[in-house]
Amino acid sequence: MADQESANSRPPTSGTLSGDSTTELHILAPLKFLISNIKNLVPNALTADNYAIWRIQLLQQFTANGYAGHLTGISSCPSDETSSDALKWRLIDNNLLSALFSTISPAILPYVISSTTAQDVWHILERRLQPTCRSRVIQLKNELHHIQMRDLTMQQYLTQVKTIVNNIAASGSHVDAEDIILHILNGLPSTYNSFKAAIRTYPTSLDLDNLYSLLCSEEINVLQELARDNNANAGATALYTTSNNQNRGRSSRRFNKNKPSVDNMANSAPPISPANVPSSNGQRPTCQICNKLGHIALNCWHQNNPKFAPTNSRSIPAFLA
Examine the pLDDT at 150 and tell me if it is beyond 50. Answer: yes
> Residue 192 is inside which H or E element, if any?
none
How much is the mean pLDDT over the chain?
Answer: 79
DSSP string covering 267-283: HHSPP--GGGSPPSSSS
pLDDT value at residue 169:
87
Enter the DSSP assignment of 188.
S
DSSP string covering 115-166: --SHHHHHHHHHHHHHHHHHHHHHHHHHHHHT---TTS-HHHHHHHHHHHHH
Task: Give φ, ψ of 145 to 5 degrees.
Answer: -70, -35
Q: What is the pLDDT of residues 56-86, one digit of tens each?
A: 999 999 999 999 999 999 999 988 888 889 9
8 Å CB contact between 16 and 103: no
Distance separating alpha carbons of residues 67 and 4, to the nearest angstrom: 13
Q: What is the pLDDT of residues 95-133, one digit of tens each?
A: 999 999 999 999 999 999 999 999 999 999 999 988 777
Angle at CA of residue 254, ends 248 and 258, nearest 5°: 145
200 Cβ neighbours under 8 A, 6+ residues apart:
185
Examine the pLDDT at 149 and tell me if it is beyond 90. Answer: yes
Distance separating alpha carbons of residues 115 and 208, to the nearest angstrom: 45
> Residue 15 is inside which H or E element, if any?
none
Examine the pLDDT at 189 and tell me if it is beyond 90. Answer: yes
Q: What is the dihedral of CA 85, 91, 93, 97, to 10 degrees?
A: 170
pLDDT value at residue 241:
61
Burial level of 289, CB count in 10 A (0-12/13-18/19+)?
Answer: buried
Distance separating alpha carbons of residues 141 and 133, to the nearest angstrom: 12
Examine the pLDDT at 268 and tell me if it is beyond 70. Answer: no
Distance separating alpha carbons of residues 242 and 248, to the nearest angstrom: 10
Examine the pLDDT at 300 and tell me if it is beyond 90. Answer: no
Examine the pLDDT at 262 and tell me if it is beyond 90. Answer: no
pLDDT value at residue 60:
94
* Among 7-21, 208-222, 256-270, the least confident range: 7-21
Distance separating alpha carbons of residues 179 and 264, to the nearest angstrom: 86
Examine the pLDDT at 19 and tell me if it is beyond 70. Answer: no
Q: What is the pLDDT of residues 196-253, one digit of tens each?
A: 999 988 888 888 999 999 999 999 999 998 888 777 666 556 555 655 555 565 555 5
Work out the angle between the directed axes of helices 51-64 and 29-41 (0-180°, nearest 10).
Answer: 160
pLDDT value at residue 265:
46
8 Å CB contact between 167 and 128: no
pLDDT value at residue 106:
95
Beta bridge partners of 46: 104
Predicted TM-score (pTM) of the model is 0.51
Examine the pLDDT at 50 and tell me if it is beyond 50. Answer: yes
Task: Give φ, ψ of 293 to 5 degrees.
Answer: -85, 155
* Among 2-6, 16-20, 148-152, 260-264, the least confident range: 16-20
Examine the pLDDT at 263 and tell me if it is beyond 80. Answer: no
What is the distance of C-alpha 251 from the center of its chain?
A: 50
pLDDT value at residue 164:
93
Give residue 296's identity as a one-letter amino acid code: I
